[in-house]
A and B are shown apart, each in its own frame.
Chain A
Amino acid sequence: DIVMTQSPDSLSVSLGERATINCKSSQNIYYSSKNKSYLAWYQQKPGQSPKLLLYWASTRKSGVPDRFSGSGSGTNFTLTITNLQAEDVAVYYCQHFYGTPLFGPGTKVDI
Protein backbone atom coordinates (compact mmCIF):
# COMPACT_ATOMS: atom_id res chain seq x y z
CA ASP A 1 0.00 0.00 0.00
CA ILE A 2 1.06 3.56 -0.69
CA VAL A 3 2.04 5.62 2.34
CA MET A 4 1.98 9.42 2.27
CA THR A 5 4.23 11.42 4.57
CA GLN A 6 4.54 15.17 5.08
CA SER A 7 7.19 17.38 6.56
CA PRO A 8 7.41 19.33 8.69
CA ASP A 9 4.55 18.50 11.05
CA SER A 10 4.16 22.20 11.70
CA LEU A 11 5.85 25.47 10.86
CA SER A 12 5.61 29.06 11.90
CA VAL A 13 6.06 31.69 9.21
CA SER A 14 6.08 35.47 9.37
CA LEU A 15 3.55 37.49 7.43
CA GLY A 16 4.75 38.06 3.90
CA GLU A 17 7.28 35.24 4.05
CA ARG A 18 7.35 31.87 2.30
CA ALA A 19 6.09 28.53 3.62
CA THR A 20 7.28 25.28 2.10
CA ILE A 21 5.60 21.96 2.79
CA ASN A 22 6.90 18.64 1.55
CA CYS A 23 4.93 15.53 0.71
CA LYS A 24 6.44 12.16 -0.07
CA SER A 25 4.76 9.11 -1.50
CA SER A 26 6.14 5.63 -0.84
CA GLN A 27 5.43 4.75 -4.48
CA ASN A 28 5.66 6.61 -7.73
CA ILE A 29 2.30 8.30 -8.33
CA TYR A 30 3.22 9.60 -11.78
CA TYR A 31 1.27 7.68 -14.36
CA SER A 32 2.87 7.89 -17.78
CA SER A 33 -0.34 6.78 -19.49
CA LYS A 34 -1.93 9.97 -18.22
CA ASN A 35 1.30 12.01 -18.12
CA LYS A 36 0.25 13.27 -14.71
CA SER A 37 1.04 12.90 -11.04
CA TYR A 38 -2.10 12.08 -9.07
CA LEU A 39 -1.31 14.42 -6.20
CA ALA A 40 -3.58 17.06 -4.67
CA TRP A 41 -3.26 19.63 -1.90
CA TYR A 42 -6.02 20.69 0.47
CA GLN A 43 -6.33 23.50 2.98
CA GLN A 44 -8.32 23.20 6.19
CA LYS A 45 -8.72 26.39 8.17
CA PRO A 46 -9.61 26.16 11.87
CA GLY A 47 -13.22 25.11 12.33
CA GLN A 48 -13.85 24.71 8.60
CA SER A 49 -14.15 21.95 6.06
CA PRO A 50 -11.16 21.19 3.86
CA LYS A 51 -10.89 22.88 0.47
CA LEU A 52 -9.11 21.71 -2.66
CA LEU A 53 -6.19 23.97 -3.58
CA LEU A 54 -4.22 22.16 -6.29
CA TYR A 55 -4.39 18.93 -8.27
CA TRP A 56 -2.13 17.14 -10.78
CA ALA A 57 0.57 18.33 -8.35
CA SER A 58 0.63 21.87 -9.72
CA THR A 59 -2.72 22.91 -11.21
CA ARG A 60 -4.50 25.49 -9.08
CA LYS A 61 -8.23 25.13 -8.65
CA SER A 62 -10.15 28.11 -10.02
CA GLY A 63 -10.21 30.94 -7.50
CA VAL A 64 -7.15 29.84 -5.55
CA PRO A 65 -4.66 32.72 -5.18
CA ASP A 66 -1.48 32.40 -7.20
CA ARG A 67 0.64 32.65 -4.06
CA PHE A 68 -0.14 28.94 -3.71
CA SER A 69 1.97 26.79 -6.01
CA GLY A 70 2.78 23.12 -6.28
CA SER A 71 5.68 21.24 -7.76
CA GLY A 72 7.19 17.81 -7.95
CA SER A 73 6.67 14.50 -9.69
CA GLY A 74 6.99 10.82 -8.97
CA THR A 75 7.37 10.54 -5.21
CA ASN A 76 8.37 14.00 -4.00
CA PHE A 77 6.12 17.02 -4.00
CA THR A 78 6.12 20.51 -2.56
CA LEU A 79 3.46 23.08 -1.72
CA THR A 80 4.79 26.62 -1.56
CA ILE A 81 2.92 29.56 -0.15
CA THR A 82 4.60 32.84 -1.00
CA ASN A 83 3.79 36.14 0.67
CA LEU A 84 1.98 34.36 3.50
CA GLN A 85 -1.21 36.06 4.64
CA ALA A 86 -3.02 35.78 7.97
CA GLU A 87 -5.87 33.91 6.28
CA ASP A 88 -3.44 31.16 5.21
CA VAL A 89 -3.22 29.83 8.79
CA ALA A 90 -4.45 26.29 8.32
CA VAL A 91 -3.54 22.63 8.15
CA TYR A 92 -2.44 21.53 4.69
CA TYR A 93 -2.88 17.97 3.46
CA CYS A 94 -1.50 16.25 0.43
CA GLN A 95 -3.44 13.38 -1.12
CA HIS A 96 -2.79 10.85 -3.80
CA PHE A 97 -5.99 10.24 -5.70
CA TYR A 98 -5.29 7.33 -8.02
CA GLY A 99 -6.98 4.06 -7.09
CA THR A 100 -7.76 4.15 -3.38
CA PRO A 101 -7.15 7.77 -2.31
CA LEU A 102 -4.98 8.46 0.70
CA PHE A 103 -4.24 11.65 2.58
CA GLY A 104 -0.99 12.66 4.16
CA PRO A 105 -0.96 13.40 7.91
CA GLY A 106 -1.09 17.16 7.47
CA THR A 107 1.16 20.14 8.15
CA LYS A 108 0.01 22.93 10.42
CA VAL A 109 0.99 26.45 9.32
CA ASP A 110 0.73 29.35 11.71
CA ILE A 111 2.17 32.81 12.11
Chain B
Amino acid sequence: EVLLVESGGGLVNPGGSLTLSCAASGFTFTKAWMAWVRQAPGKGLEWVGRIKNKADDGTTDYAAPVKGRFSIVRDDSKNMVYLHLNSLKTEDTAVYYCTVGAGLCDYWGRGTRVTVSS
Protein backbone atom coordinates (compact mmCIF):
# COMPACT_ATOMS: atom_id res chain seq x y z
CA GLU B 1 0.00 0.00 0.00
CA VAL B 2 1.33 3.41 -0.96
CA LEU B 3 1.63 5.69 2.05
CA LEU B 4 2.69 9.33 2.07
CA VAL B 5 2.90 11.14 5.40
CA GLU B 6 3.56 14.86 5.46
CA SER B 7 4.80 16.76 8.48
CA GLY B 8 6.37 20.06 9.43
CA GLY B 9 3.49 22.45 8.91
CA GLY B 10 2.70 25.24 11.32
CA LEU B 11 2.35 28.97 11.87
CA VAL B 12 5.10 31.18 10.51
CA ASN B 13 5.56 34.92 10.12
CA PRO B 14 5.61 36.55 6.70
CA GLY B 15 9.15 36.44 5.39
CA GLY B 16 9.91 33.35 7.41
CA SER B 17 10.93 29.85 6.43
CA LEU B 18 9.67 26.35 6.97
CA THR B 19 10.58 22.85 5.85
CA LEU B 20 7.95 20.26 5.10
CA SER B 21 8.76 16.56 5.05
CA CYS B 22 7.12 13.66 3.30
CA ALA B 23 7.81 10.07 4.34
CA ALA B 24 7.02 7.62 1.55
CA SER B 25 6.49 3.88 1.60
CA GLY B 26 4.82 1.11 -0.35
CA PHE B 27 6.48 1.73 -3.70
CA THR B 28 9.94 1.93 -5.22
CA PHE B 29 10.82 5.44 -4.12
CA THR B 30 14.04 5.68 -6.10
CA LYS B 31 12.09 5.28 -9.36
CA ALA B 32 9.39 7.81 -8.51
CA TRP B 33 9.04 11.44 -9.43
CA MET B 34 7.63 13.28 -6.40
CA ALA B 35 5.60 16.45 -6.33
CA TRP B 36 3.94 18.92 -3.97
CA VAL B 37 0.46 20.36 -4.48
CA ARG B 38 -1.16 22.95 -2.23
CA GLN B 39 -4.68 24.06 -1.49
CA ALA B 40 -5.44 27.42 0.06
CA PRO B 41 -8.40 27.54 2.47
CA GLY B 42 -11.63 27.08 0.53
CA LYS B 43 -9.80 27.15 -2.79
CA GLY B 44 -8.75 24.71 -5.50
CA LEU B 45 -5.60 22.72 -6.11
CA GLU B 46 -2.34 24.37 -7.12
CA TRP B 47 0.66 22.39 -8.35
CA VAL B 48 3.77 23.64 -6.55
CA GLY B 49 6.68 21.68 -7.95
CA ARG B 50 8.32 18.31 -8.47
CA ILE B 51 11.61 16.47 -8.34
CA LYS B 52 12.55 13.79 -10.82
CA ASN B 53 14.19 10.52 -9.90
CA LYS B 54 17.97 10.31 -10.10
CA ALA B 55 17.84 8.21 -13.26
CA ASP B 56 15.99 11.05 -14.98
CA ASP B 57 18.60 13.53 -13.68
CA GLY B 58 16.95 14.44 -10.38
CA THR B 59 16.14 17.99 -11.42
CA THR B 60 13.31 20.11 -10.12
CA ASP B 61 10.54 22.21 -11.65
CA TYR B 62 8.44 24.82 -9.90
CA ALA B 63 5.27 26.79 -10.48
CA ALA B 64 5.80 30.47 -11.19
CA PRO B 65 4.40 31.78 -7.85
CA VAL B 66 6.98 29.83 -5.82
CA LYS B 67 9.99 29.75 -8.13
CA GLY B 68 13.06 31.13 -6.39
CA ARG B 69 11.45 30.85 -2.95
CA PHE B 70 10.66 27.13 -2.61
CA SER B 71 12.94 24.19 -3.21
CA ILE B 72 12.38 20.44 -3.29
CA VAL B 73 15.00 17.95 -2.17
CA ARG B 74 14.89 14.17 -1.92
CA ASP B 75 16.77 11.66 0.20
CA ASP B 76 16.51 8.28 -1.48
CA SER B 77 18.31 6.58 1.44
CA LYS B 78 15.40 7.53 3.70
CA ASN B 79 12.51 7.50 1.22
CA MET B 80 11.92 11.15 2.06
CA VAL B 81 11.15 14.26 0.06
CA TYR B 82 11.32 17.77 1.46
CA LEU B 83 9.84 21.10 0.53
CA HIS B 84 11.82 24.10 1.74
CA LEU B 85 9.66 27.21 1.91
CA ASN B 86 11.47 30.55 2.12
CA SER B 87 10.40 34.19 1.99
CA LEU B 88 6.90 33.10 2.88
CA LYS B 89 3.94 35.28 2.02
CA THR B 90 0.41 35.29 3.43
CA GLU B 91 -0.79 33.86 0.11
CA ASP B 92 1.31 30.74 0.74
CA THR B 93 -1.15 29.76 3.49
CA ALA B 94 -2.46 26.35 2.44
CA VAL B 95 -2.54 22.64 3.04
CA TYR B 96 0.48 21.15 1.31
CA TYR B 97 0.12 17.66 -0.17
CA CYS B 98 2.90 15.30 -1.13
CA THR B 99 2.13 13.30 -4.27
CA VAL B 100 3.70 10.61 -6.42
CA GLY B 101 3.92 11.01 -10.16
CA ALA B 102 5.72 12.66 -13.04
CA GLY B 103 2.95 15.12 -13.82
CA LEU B 104 0.00 12.98 -12.94
CA CYS B 105 -0.55 12.87 -9.15
CA ASP B 106 -1.10 9.17 -8.68
CA TYR B 107 -1.16 9.04 -4.87
CA TRP B 108 -1.64 11.74 -2.25
CA GLY B 109 -0.81 12.17 1.39
CA ARG B 110 -3.19 13.72 3.90
CA GLY B 111 -1.40 17.04 3.80
CA THR B 112 0.16 19.38 6.31
CA ARG B 113 -1.16 22.86 7.01
CA VAL B 114 0.99 25.97 6.67
CA THR B 115 -0.30 29.28 7.96
CA VAL B 116 1.61 32.45 7.17
CA SER B 117 0.48 35.24 9.44
CA SER B 118 1.83 37.82 11.82
Contact = CB atoms under 8 A, between A and B. Distances in A.
Contacts of A61: 106
B45 A50 contact: yes
A59 to B, nearest CB: 10
Given A38-B103, A52-B105, A99-B103, A106 B63 contact: no
B44 A42 contact: no
Give the contact-size bracket for chain A. 20 to 34
Given A40-B104, A50-B97, A55-B104, A103 B46 contact: yes
A103 B97 contact: no
In the complex, which range does the number of interface residues on chain B fall in?
20 to 34
A100 B109 CA distance: 21
B47 A106 contact: no
A91 B104 CA distance: 18
Contact of B45 (A38, A100, A103): A103
B75 interface: no
B25 to A, nearest CB: 16
Contact of A52 (B44, B61, B106): B106
A57 B117 CA distance: 39
Q: Is the interface of B mostly helix, strand, loop or mixed?
A: loop
Contacts of A51: 108
Interface string B70-113: 00000000000000000000000000010001111111111100
B101 to A, nearest CB: 8
A51 B110 CA distance: 11
A105 B111 CA distance: 19
B104 A97 contact: yes
B16 to A, nearest CB: 26
B44 A101 contact: no
A93 interface: yes
Contacts of B111: 49
Interface of A: 38, 40, 42, 44, 49-52, 55, 61, 91, 93, 95, 97-106
